[in-house]
A and B are shown apart, each in its own frame.
Chain A
C-alpha cells in the first residue's frame, strides 16, 4: 500500500496547488468584475479541503484495500477532485491498485540514542555573535560601496545643506527677487542634497540641474538622476518637497520649495560660482514634474535668453493646469509619461488625455501656435538654440517605477546633456545608479540581520536571558503537572524517565497522538479556512479603509491644513487597515482556539474519553516569572531590549549616513535617518498599528508554529499568509488594468482617487512578507511573542513614516 499511499499523497498535493490556482483565478475574475469569481473561489476551497481529506486518508491507510468507510470517503474525494484533473486521474490510478508488494521501507521516526548535547561555546564563537559581526562589517562595506556609486567613483562631492528663510532673504536682491521667492515661515526649512562634480569649478562652471521628487517621496528616491547627471558633469541639487523627508515646511509654496532653492543658488554668486547660471535645468517626477513646470514658467522671463531655466523635464505629470503653462515656457522642454501609468484613467477626455496634452506640449511653444496634428514619441521638435525644443517620451513602465526605469533615466540624461551643453561622452544608457541601490538594499538586509543577531547575543547576557529562562521554566512547570503537550512528530519520550512518569508520558503521548489524529481534518479545515479568510479580508478591506481614512482624518489629509493628529496622510490608510485586520486576527486566533477546545470537549464526551485541551497555544503570549513582580521586571527588561534594538538600528542608519552619506533602502522601502518631525509622527501611529504586529506574531508563533512543520515551512507559510492578501490587491488591480486600461482601484466611493494607495502596496507586500519571518526569529530567540512585534512595529512604522508625507507643524 506504499505506492497507493504515495499516489494519494501526490493527489492531495495536486489539489493544494490547484486550490492556489483557483484562488488566483478567482482574484483575476474579481479584478475583471466577473461574478464567476465566486465559482472559482468555491472550486479552490473544494480543492483544498479535498486535499486535506485525501491526505488524512493516506496517513491512516493500513492496507492496500480500503475499508468500507474508507472506500466511501475516497470515492467522495475522488469525485470532488474533478476540480483538479491531474488529481482526478491520479486518484483513479490509486484506486485501481489492489495489490502491492510488501517491500516497504518503513521509515522509523524514532531516533536511537539521544545525541549528546553540544559543548557550550564561548560567546564570540556562537553563531549569533559571528553573524552580528559579519553583518556589522557588511553594513560599512556596503556603505562604502554605495558611496562609491553615489559619488561616481569619488569624483563627485555629495553634501547636504538646509535652506532657511534667512538664506533666501539674504540673496533676494539678485535677478530673482520678490517676496514670492522667500520662504515665508520663519522656522521652515528645506533639506537639500548637492552633487558637485570635480570638473565644476569657478573657472569652468558647470550646468546645474534641480531635481524634485513627487508626492510622498524623498530626495533619496531621485538619487539615480542625481548620480547620472553629476557623473556627466552637471551640478545637481535635490530637495525634499514640503512635508516630506527632512523638510520642515509643510505647504507646497514656492513650487514645493524648488523656487526658493533656485533663487538662492542663482543669486548666490558667493558660494555657487561653480554653477553656470546660463545653464540651469530642472527635472521632477509626478507632482515634482508639475512643480518644475511651474518653476520654469514663473522664471521664464520674456525670452529664452532671459529665462532662468533653460531646460525642463516634466516626468509623470500631465494635468491640464500644468499644460496651461506650456505656452509660458521660454526654455527647451521634455515630458515623459509612462505607458502604463495607472493614473491615466483620470485623463480620458479630449481636454485631459495624454495624447491631447502631448499635442499641446509640442504646439504651444513660446506663445506661438504650431500646427502638429500628431505626436511622434522620442522625436525632437523645434530648435534647442532658441528654447523651442520639445520632445515627448513614453516608456514601457508604470508610474511609481518610472524613476527606476533605465530608459526613462537615459531619456532624462540625454535631454539635459544636449539642452544644457554638458558635452558628456557617456551615453545615457550607461548607468551606475543601481549599484548604489543594490548596496543600500543589501545594507538594509544586513542591518536587519545585525539587529536580530544582536538580540540573540544580548539574550545570552544573564540580565536579559532571564526573560527566556523564566518563560521556559513556566513551560516545564506546566508540563510536569501532567498537562498533555502535543509532541511534534519524531520525538520519543526520554527513556530514562521514571516508570511513573514514563507511564504518564506514554499516556500523554497516546492522548497527544489521538488528539493529533482527531485534529487532522477538522483542524486543517479551520486552520486553512482562517488563513484564507484573513487574506480575503485583508485584500478586500484595504481600499475601503483607505477611503474611510480620508473621511475620518479630513484635516490630516489636506496639504493645506497642518495638524498634530495623525498628520501622515497616506499612512492613515495603513493605520486603519492594520488596526482592523490586527483585531480580526486576534479574534480569530482566540475564537478558533476556543472552538477547537470546545470540539475536543464534545468529541471526548461523545466517545467517553478524557478531553485533552490545548491551551498551550497561549503559552508564548505569557511573560515568564515566578510572581507578578518578576513578570513585570521581565516585561520592563523586554521593553528595554526593544528600545535598545530600535536605537541601535537607527544609530546604524545615522552612522552610515554620517560616514558615507548612505542610508538603508531599496526602491520603495527605506530606513532614512530620523528627524524630529517623522519621529514624533511615528510615535502617534505605533501604538495603534502595534495591534497588527502582535496579532501577526501570535499567529505565526502560536498557531502556524505549532503545526508540527519544519521551520522553513513555518516561515514560508507565515510569510505568505501575511502578504498574500495584499499581493492579491495588486493582482486584482493589475489584471483589470492590463486587460481594460483602467485600474480596478482607480476611484472609490464618492469619486475619491485611491490609485496612489495601491502604489503603496508594492512596498507594503515586501514588508508584510518579511514581518512573520522576523517575528518567528525573535520568538525563537526570546521565547515570547512580544519583543519581535515591538521591534518590528517600531522600526517598520518609522521607516514607513519617514518615506511618506507628514503635515505635522513642527519646525
Chain B
C-alpha cells in the first residue's frame, strides 16, 4: 500500500513537473526589440525571439545593393558577413543574439549597402544530390571544363566574375531563392518545366526563357534552364548541351507544315523511360506505311508524310508537339501524355491507346486529328503492331468539357400586371438603366432586352415558354416555368414585398445578373421611385428643320397624356409642360440650359446640351427622318417616357398627322 502511494505521488509530481515545464518553456523565450535605421532615419521596430522572426523592409539606394542589416553603423564589405543579418528581408534571433549585450533586450541595426557586383555569369546548381545527382565534386569538374571551354573561345575565365552557386532545399525553396538573388543566368540540376513552374513558382517567359532536359553533369539526367539572354549565357548554355547531353540542345520546333500526315515518335531511352523506337526502326515503319498506303489507293511519293522525332521528357515533348501544332499521330509515348504531358483529351488528342509494339517496347499511340488519312493510318498501326482491339474512333472529337459560347443577349421578362407585381414602366426603366450600368462596369458585353408580360400566370408561363429566350423573370410569384433553375423569394418590388426573381437560364451573364439581383443596390432599383411632379419636354419649334409643328405636338401631347395615365399620372399629380424652342442650335442650347428644367428634348439633331444622358437617333418626325430625342434627366418617369418614345406607338405620334395628311 505504501509503495502504491509513493508511486502515485511520484506520478503526480511528474505530471505537475511536465505541466509546469510547459509553462516554463515560455520563460526561456527571450524577446529582443530590434530597431532599424537607414541612413540615420528610423525605419521601424520589431520583436524577435527564438521562435519568432521579423519580416522587415528591404532598402533601396541608387547604384548600391542592399546587403542586409548590420550591428555596425558603417558596415562595409571588409567587415564581412558576421555583422550582417543572414537575410535581407528577415531578422532572426540568431542574427542578433551574439550582439545583445548583458541584460539589454534591445538592439539597433543599420542598413548595409555594398556596390552592385557585376557578374559575368552565374550558374546555379541544385545542391540536393539524391534528387539532382549533383555534388560539389561534380560541379568542380564542371567548372574546370567550363573554364577550358571559355578559354578556347577566347575568354579569360580566371579574370572574369563567374559564379557557380549551389542551392539546397526543395524545388520551391531553391527557385524562390534564385528569384530573390536575381542574378542567375543558368540553372542546372532541376527538373522539367512543369516542375519549376508549378512547384518552383517560376514563370516561363518571365523568370526563365527555356528549360531543356537530357543533360547529365552528375549522376542523373536532369534539366538546364536559361534565364537570361546574354551572349555569354547563350554560349555556355549551348556548350552545356554539347558537352553533357546525348541529344544536344533541342532545336526550335519546326513550323507547322503543309504535310499530308505528320507522325511524331518518341526518341527517348533512359533507365526509367524507353520508347523502344530508334531512327532505324522508324525508317522501317515509314517504309511499311508507304507500302500500306499504296494498297489503299494513295501515292506516297506524291504525298508529304513527315515522321518526326521528339526527345526530352514527356512534358517537354508534348509541349513541343502542341506548339508545332501539325502532328496527327504520336507513337512511343505512354499513357501519361495527359497527366504528365499536359495534353487534354478531346482537345489536344482524340484517343491514346496502349499495346503498340512498333519498336522494342510496348507503348501507346495517340490520335490527334480526325482526318481520313490519320484515322486510316492509326487503324493500320493497331492492325499491324498491336494485339489490342482498337476502340471505335469518334467521328468528331468529344470535348468532355466544352466551353460554352459567350452569352450575347440577356432577356429579362417582367410581369406587367402592375397591381400584382408592383412593377411599372418607371421602375422597369430605372431598373434597366441600372442593369446596363452594372454590366458595363463589370465589363460584360451583352444586349439587354426587357420585355413585359401581362395576363394571368398561366398565360405568362405560356408566353415565356413560347418565346423561349427569357433568361430572367422578375415580378412573378406563383410561376413555375420549365427550366427553372433557381429563384429568389420575398423580393420587394414597387409596393409589393413578396415578389420573386426566377432564373431560367444558366448562361454566364444570366447567372451574373441573377447574383447581382441579390445585392441591395440592384434591389433598390426595383422599388417605387420618388414620384415626379413635373415633366418638361422641350421641342424644336423650327419646323423646317425639326419637322415638328404645333399639330404634331398637340397630337404627341395627347398621346403622352394617355401613356402617363397608364402609369397613374394625371393632371392632378403631374404637371406636363411641352415647351417649344426656336432659333439656332446654340440659342436653343443656351435657352434650355437657362431654363434648367427640361427633361427631354425632341426634334433637335446637332444638340449637345450639358447633362445629356442618352439620345435616340434617326427618329422620324414630320417629314424628317433624322431627328433625335435627347434625354437630359434621369428621374424615373422621365426614363420611362424616354423608353416609351422608342416604341412604335409613341413614334407614330410624330408622323400621324403627316400620314393623315398624305392619306387625305
Judged by a CB distance under 8 angstroms, whether B407 is at the interface is: no
Contact in complex: A321, B53 (CB < 8 Å):
no
A360 CB to nearest chain B CB (Å): 10
Q: Which of A350, A354, A396, A740 contacts B50 (CB 8 A)?
A: A740
B200 within 8 A of A: yes
Chain B residues near A340 (CB, 8 Å)? 25, 51
Q: Mark B268-297, 1 if CB is under 8 A from A, else 0.
A: 000000000000000000000000000000
- Contact status B55-A356, CB under 8 Å: yes
Chain B stretch 140-195: residues in CB contact (< 8 A) with chain A: 168-173, 175-177, 179-180
CB distance from A375 to the nearest CB of B (A): 8
Contact B176 A320 (CB under 8 A): yes
A597 at the interface (CB under 8 A from B): no
A31 to chain B, nearest CB (A): 12
Chain-A contact segment, one of B84-92, B102-110, B303-311: B84-92
Residue with the highest number of chain B CB atoms closer than 10 Å, among A323, A352, A741, A742: A741
A351 touches B50 (CB 8 A): no
Q: Which of B25, B171, B176, B199 contacts A351 (CB 8 A)?
A: B176
Determine whether the beta carbon of A179 is less than 8 Å from that of B177.
no
With A320-B201, A359-B55 already in contact, the answer to whether A177 and B172 are too (CB < 8 A) is no
Interface centre among B90, B344, B401 (most CB of A within 10 A): B90
* Docked complex Cα distance between A359 and B90 (Å): 12
Partner of A321, one of B28, B50, B200: B200
Contact (Cβ within 8 A) A321 B170: yes
Q: Which residue of A lies closest to B129 (CB)?
A: A750
Chain B residues positioned under 8 Å from A346 (CB to CB): 169
Q: Which of A179, A180, A751 has the most CB of B within 10 A?
A: A179
Q: How close is A350's CB to chain B, nearest CB, in angstroms?
A: 4
A344: nearest residue on chain B (CB-CB)? B51
- Once the chains are docked, how many angstroms separate the CA of A351 from the CA of B3? 57
Question: What residues of B have a CB within 8 angstroms of the CB of A349 in the complex?
Answer: 86-87, 90, 173, 177
Task: Chain A residues near B338: list those with CB within 8 A.
Answer: 178-180
- Is residue A367 within 8 Å, beta carbon to beta carbon, of the partner chain? no
Given that A349-B87, A350-B55, A350-B87 are contacting pairs, would A319 and B170 also be in contact in the complex, using a CB cutoff of 8 Å? Answer: yes
CA distance A180 to B176 in the complex (A): 27
> Taking the complex as formed, is A541 at the interface, i.e. its CB lies under 8 A from any CB of chain B?
no
Q: Which of A310-324 contact B (CB under 8 A)?
A: 319-324
Is the beta-carbon distance between A355 and B55 smaller than 8 angstroms?
Answer: yes
Chain A, residue nearest B95 (CB): A348
Asked if A353 and B345 sit within 8 Å, CB to CB, the answer is no
B571: interface (CB < 8 Å):
no
Known: A319-B170, A739-B28. A351 touches B55 (CB 8 A): no
Q: Which residue on B lies nearest to A348, using beta carbons?
A: B92
Contact code string A321-350 (vs B, CB < 8 Å = 1, else 0): 111100000000000000110001011111
Asked if A482 CB lies within 8 Å of chain B CBs, one says no
Q: Which residue of A lies closest to B512 (CB)?
A: A305
Inside 8 A of B94's CB, which chain A residues have their CB? 348, 740-742
List the B side residues contacting A322 at CB < 8 Å: 172
Residues from 145 to 190 in A contacting B, C-beta threshold 8 Å: 173, 177-180, 184
- Rounded to whole Å, the gap between the CB of B500 and the closest CB of chain A is 21
Interface residue? B400 (CB, 8 A):
yes
- Asked whether A179 lies within 8 Å of B339 as measured between CB atoms, the reply is yes
Residues of B within 8 A of A353 (CB): 53, 55, 90, 92
Q: Which residues of B contact A739 (CB under 8 A)?
A: 28, 50
The answer to whether A178 touches B400, judged by C-beta atoms less than 8 angstroms apart, is yes
**How far apart sit A740 and B170, CA to CA, in the bound complex (Å)?**
24
Looking at the assembled complex, report how far the CB atom of A27 sits from the nearest CB atom of chain B, in whole angstroms: 15
Cβ–Cβ < 8 Å partners of A323 in chain B: 172, 201
B93 at the A interface (CB under 8 A) = yes
Expressed in whole angstroms, the Cα–Cα distance for A777 and B335 within the complex equals 58
Tell me the smallest distance from the CB of B496 to a CB of chain A, in Å: 27
Q: How far is the CA of A351 from the CA of B338 in the complex (A)?
A: 32
Minimal beta-carbon separation of B272 from chain A (angstroms): 10
Known: A352-B169, A359-B55. A178 touches B344 (CB 8 A): yes
B54 near A: Cβ within 8 Å?
A: yes
Bound form: Cα–Cα A292–B401 in Å: 24
Q: Does A618 contact B (CB under 8 A)?
A: no
A685 vs chain B, min Cβ distance (A): 23
A352-375 interface bits toward B, Cβ cutoff 8 Å, 1 = contact, 0 = none = 111110010000000000000110
Inter-subunit contact B173/A351 (CB<8 Å)? yes
For A177, A324, A347, A750, the residue with the greatest tally of chain B CB atoms inside 10 Å of its CB is A324
User: Please, which residue of chain B has its CB at the minimum distance from the CB of A297?
Assistant: B198
A441 to chain B, nearest CB (A): 16
A352 touches B176 (CB 8 A): yes
Q: Using Cβ atoms and an 8 Å threshold, which residues of chain B touch A344?
A: 51
A712 part of interface (Cβ distance < 8 Å): yes
Distance to closest chain B CB from A26 (angstroms): 19
Compute how far the CA of A416 lies from the CA of B49 in the bound complex, rounded to whole angstroms: 32
CA distance A323 to B169 in the complex (A): 15
Known contacts being A180-B339, A320-B201, is A355 close to B50, with CB within 8 Å? Answer: no
Q: Which of B433-463 contact A (CB under 8 A)?
A: none
A350 to B67, CA, bound (A): 13
Please give, as numbers and ranges, the residues of chain A lying within 8 Å of B401 by CB-CB distance.
177
Which residues from B are CB-within-8-Å of A359?
A: 55
Produce 1/0 per residue, A737-771, CB < 8 A to B: 01111100000001100000000000000000000
Contact residues in A for B179 (Cβ distance below 8 Å):
351
CB distance from A187 to the nearest CB of B (A): 16
Q: Flag if A324 contacts B172 (CB, 8 Å).
A: yes
Q: How far is the CA of A173 from the CA of B398 in the complex (A)?
A: 12
Contact A321 B199 (CB under 8 A): yes
User: With a CB–CB cut-off of 8 A, which chain B residues contact A347?
Assistant: 173
Q: B24 — nearest CB in chain A belongs to which residue?
A: A738
Give Cα A349 to B94, complex, Å: 12
What residues of B have a CB within 8 angstroms of the CB of A373 in the complex? 55
Determine the chain A residues whose CB is within 8 A of the CB of B93 once the complex forms.
741
> Which chain B residue shows the least CB distance to A752?
B130
A339 & B51 in contact (Cβ 8 Å cutoff): yes
Q: Which residue of A lies closest to B135 (CB)?
A: A750
| Residues B25 and A738 in contact, CB atoms below 8 Å apart | yes
* Shortest CB distance A383–B (Å): 14
* A179 CB contacts on chain B under 8 angstroms: 335, 338-339, 345
**Inter-chain contact B344/A350, CB cutoff 8 Å:** no
Contact yes or no, B92 A319, CB < 8 A: no
CB-based nearest A residue for B27: A738
Q: Is the CB of B87 within 8 A of A324?
A: no
List A residues 625-641 near B (Cβ within 8 Å).
none
B200 touches A351 (CB 8 A): no
Specify which chain B residues have a CB less than 8 angstroms from the CB of A396 in the assembled complex. Answer: 26
Chain B min CB distance to A749 (Å) = 12
Q: How far is the CB of A706 from chain B (nearest CB, A)?
A: 21
Closest to B30 in A: A739
Q: Residues 544-564 of chain A: 1 if any B CB is under 8 Å from the residue's CB, otherwise 0?
A: 000000000010001000000
Smallest distance from the beta carbon of B57 to chain A beta carbons, Å? 8
Q: Inside 8 A of A374's CB, which chain B residues have their CB?
A: 55
Judge whether A355 and B90 touch: CB under 8 Å.
yes
Closest CB of chain B to A600's CB: distance in Å?
Answer: 34
Chain A residues with CB under 8 Å of B7's CB are 712
Q: Which residues of A contact B344 (CB under 8 A)?
A: 178
State whether B89 touches A356 (Cβ < 8 A).
yes
Which A residues are in CB contact (< 8 Å) with B201?
Answer: 320-321, 323-324
Can you give 15 contacting A-B residue pairs, CB < 8 Å?
A: A179-B339, A180-B338, A322-B172, A324-B199, A346-B169, A347-B173, A350-B89, A350-B180, A351-B173, A353-B92, A354-B53, A738-B25, A738-B50, A741-B49, A741-B50
Known: A339-B51, A353-B53, A373-B55. 17 other contacts (CB 8 A): A177-B400, A184-B335, A184-B339, A319-B173, A320-B170, A323-B172, A348-B53, A348-B86, A351-B173, A351-B179, A353-B55, A354-B53, A355-B55, A356-B89, A356-B90, A739-B28, A740-B94
Query: Using a CB–CB distance below 8 Å, which chain A residues touch chain B?
Result: 173, 177-180, 184, 319-324, 339-340, 344, 346-356, 359, 373-374, 396, 554, 558, 712, 738-742, 750-751
The 4 closest A-B pairs by CB, nearest first: A321-B172, A741-B50, A320-B172, A324-B201
